[in-house]
Amino acid sequence: MNHDEQTPQAQTDMAPQAAPAADGEGVVSRRWFLLKASIALNGVVGLALAYPILRYLGSPMQSDASFKSWVSLGAINDFPAGQTRLAYYKNPYERPWDGATDNVACYVRRTSEKEFQVFAVNCAHLNCPVRWFPESQLFMCPCHGGVYYANGERASGPPTRGLFTYDWKLEGGSLHINAGQMPTLSNSAKLVNISIGGGDSTCQA
Amino acid sequence: MPSMKPRGKRIYDWFEHRLHFEAPVKDAALHPVPSRTASWWYVFGSAAFTLLFLQIFTGILLALIYVPSAGHAWSSLNVLNHQVELGWYIRALHGWGSNFMVAIVIIHMTQVFLFGSYKYPRELTWCIGVILLLLTLGMAFTGQVLRFDQDAYWGLGIGASIMGRVPVIGGDLVHLLLGGPIIAGATLTRFFDLHVFIIPGLLLLLALIHSCVGSIPARSAGNNVIAP
């Protein structure tokens, strides 16, 4: 009966049909009710705050038109036929404080007068920058030994596929590519299919 | 009536009567331990804690000069190294301190594992310790990103490409990690936030819990018996 003595007010406040048991079960004291009510109110405030916070934090995940837009790599004549050249473009998604980081590199391979291939510099294994070796006609990655043929197909090493490629088009005498995101296996960068014994390396029999 | 105590003692007492610091400090410093534990094997936890405070202190000093901007981070470090009086030394303390902290935390963990000190009643201390190890490694990774040199840039590329392998949400996670579609200014800013606010906050909070939870069972589990 000790508990009942402590909460006489609560007893009289209760509806008569909910007669409290001797051990105080079913009794809701004012103090207990206010505690629960304030926890619930705090929960509501928390949810009201959580929504804008989560939207704010998730803003980089929202797709932007500049993630996929056409940028110029310069005049077509800068890329001699039969050669692979390093080119740079200003990333379409940029901020004034980006420094050198929004100046993105890619490899342009001109196969004929009107035919190009544009590769991301990022190895398809772990995004390290591959380097073009004209002597052996191979792209080689310094990190874990990934090697690609001149046409971007995988030659050897840990990459499971060829180099990432950009869509390209010719417009007014200059070469444009569709770029904006760092290529990873999860975004829309297209991949060169693997075929055995590809490439035109002079090292091949 | 003027007290007979010296002034210093009176000031000390004034604070002590309000803070009650003496008892817990004495308890922590003087409580008896088994004589077999009076060994160098038991210093690594305190050493890791000391290094944490060295890192916080030197980090605050570096933040006086460092500029968390992709366009200026590297040049601000050049100023720190070559133009600021003893800037190179403070930076070296922070850099070497981070290496030592990772090493000491791993040695501490190895010692606790080999001595079986993770067993009841210290399972929770061990679990928090595992989180502390991950946070320490997180500090090391985010810290080297702040240089924003070639190492940092391509290291981020590796991190992003690992993240991109997560099924379904990988692409979104990459954008969340980089703060945008490429490694750029937004990436450095969020790694600065992680390195200076988020991870150290968690690290400090959990390290305090780790040392408190770790020391309570030691005193209540009959460990306060001095071996002959």
Do A186 and B154 make contact, defined as CB atoms within 8 angstroms? no
Say yes or no to pLDDT of B222 above 60: no
Instruction: Establish whether this prediction's ipTM goes over 0.85.
Output: no
Axis-axis angle for helices B123-145, B199-220 (nearest 10): 160
Say yes or no to pLDDT of B190 above 60: yes
The minimal CB distance from B185 to the residues A60, A99, A184 is found for: A99
The contacts of residue B2 (CB under 8 Å, 6+ apart) are: none
Distance separating alpha carbons of residues A53 and A47, to the nearest angstrom: 10
In this prediction, the residues of chain A whose per-residue pLDDT falls under 50 are 1-15, 18, 198, 201-205
Distance separating alpha carbons of residues B184 and B209, to the nearest angstrom: 36
DSSP 3-state assignment of A40?
helix
Q: pLDDT: is B220 or B169 the higher one? A: B169
Q: What is the pLDDT of residue A1?
A: 41
Long-range contacts formed by A152-157: CB under 8 A, 24+ apart:
A152/A109, A152/A117, A152/A119, A152/A192, A153/A192, A153/A193, A153/A194, A153/A195, A153/A198, A153/A199, A154/A124, A154/A192, A154/A194, A155/A198, A155/A199, A155/A201, A157/A125
Q: What is the pLDDT of residue B207?
A: 95
Interface test with B, best of A55, A63, A161, A182 (most B CBs within 10 A): A182
**Could you tell me which chain B residue has the CA closest to the CA of A182?**
B182
Joined together, the tokens standing for residue B41 give: 């094997």
DSSP 3-state assignment of B58?
helix
Say yes or no to pLDDT of B227 above 50: no
Axis-axis angle for helices B87-114, B44-62 (nearest 10): 160
Q: Exposure of A155 by Cβ count < 10 A (0-12 exposed, 13-18 middle, 19+ buried)?
A: buried
Q: What is the pLDDT of residue A204?
A: 40
DSSP 3-state assignment of A125?
coil
Say yes or no to pLDDT of B3 above 90: no
Q: With contact defined as beta carbons under 8 Å apart, do A150 and A138 qualify?
A: yes
- In angstroms, the first-to-last Cα distance of chain B is 50
A–B CB contacts, 8 A cutoff, strictly below: 104
Instruction: Give pLDDT tens digits for B81-124.
Output: 999 999 999 999 999 999 999 999 999 999 999 999 999 889 99
Joined together, the tokens standing for residue A27 give: 């009794």
Residue B193: which H helix or E strand, with range? helix B185-193
**CA-based nearest residue to A125, from A143, A108, A105:** A143
Distance separating alpha carbons of residues A141 and A152, to the nearest angstrom: 12
Q: With contact defined as beta carbons under 8 Å apart, do A154 and A148 qualify?
A: yes
Dihedrals phi, psi of A19, to nearest 5 degrees: -65, 130
Axis-axis angle for helices B123-145, B87-114 (nearest 10): 150
Residue position matching structure tokens 């490629």 = A165
The minimal CB distance from B157 to the residues A60, A100, A122 is found for: A122
Instruction: Give pLDDT tens digits for B140-172.
Output: 999 999 999 999 999 999 999 999 999 889 989
Q: How confident is the model at residue B217 (pLDDT cuts 50, 70, 90)?
A: low
SS (H, E, C) A160-190: CCCCEEECEEEECCEEEEEECCCCCCCCCCE
Joined together, the tokens standing for residue A79 give: 């890329």
The minimal CB distance from A101 to the residues B165, B166, B183 is found for: B183
Do B71 and A99 make contact, defined as CB atoms within 8 angstroms? yes
Do A61 and B176 make contact, defined as CB atoms within 8 angstroms? yes
Do A185 and B165 make contact, defined as CB atoms within 8 angstroms? yes
Neighbours of B108 (CB within 10 A): 22
The minimal CB distance from A184 to the residues B174, B179, B185 is found for: B174
Instruction: Give pLDDT tens digits for B126-137.
Output: 999 999 999 999
Residue A100 bridge partners (DSSP): none
Distance separating alpha carbons of residues A117 and A109, to the nearest angstrom: 5
Instruction: Give pLDDT tens digits for A27-62.
Output: 789 999 999 999 999 999 999 999 999 999 999 988
Across B3-26, average pLDDT: 91
Do B157 and A128 make contact, defined as CB atoms within 8 angstroms? yes
Instruction: Give pLDDT tens digits for B15-66.
Output: 999 999 999 899 888 888 888 888 899 999 999 999 999 999 999 999 999 9
Do B183 and A182 make contact, defined as CB atoms within 8 angstroms? yes
